[in-house]
Amino acid sequence: MTLRCKPVDMALIIKSINSANIGKIVTCIKYVGTYKDCIGPDLWEVDRLLMWAPPPARRLCPDSCLMPIRPDEIKEERLNEQLLNIA
């Protein structure tokens, strides 16, 4: 099992059964794994309430729905793109 996110990562919600969650930015607080009657495996506790089906709202989000936002990796990707454009 390889998780996309790590504790304290900021992440963008890229998919959800509730479209209102898509595009929200959350912070991954801790890895929870599975949770009773919940939305899937590999769950993260996040810093904001999210509405899934069925209610109630929870501070949980599946790792597969998240895209981590890591400034260092973004800088490295931009640098690689610039180097490719020069070559």
Average pLDDT of the segment spanning 18-37: 90
Rounded distance, CA 37 to CA 50, Å?
15
Grade residue 52 by pLDDT with cuts at 50, 70 and 90.
confident
**Mean predicted confidence (pLDDT) in 39-65:** 87
State whether residue 69 is helix, strand or coil.
strand
Dist CA 40 CA 10 (whole Å): 20
Query: Using an 8 Å Cβ cutoff, are 58 and 38 in contact?
Result: yes
Mean pLDDT of the chain: 85
Checking if the pLDDT of 31 tops 60, the result is: yes
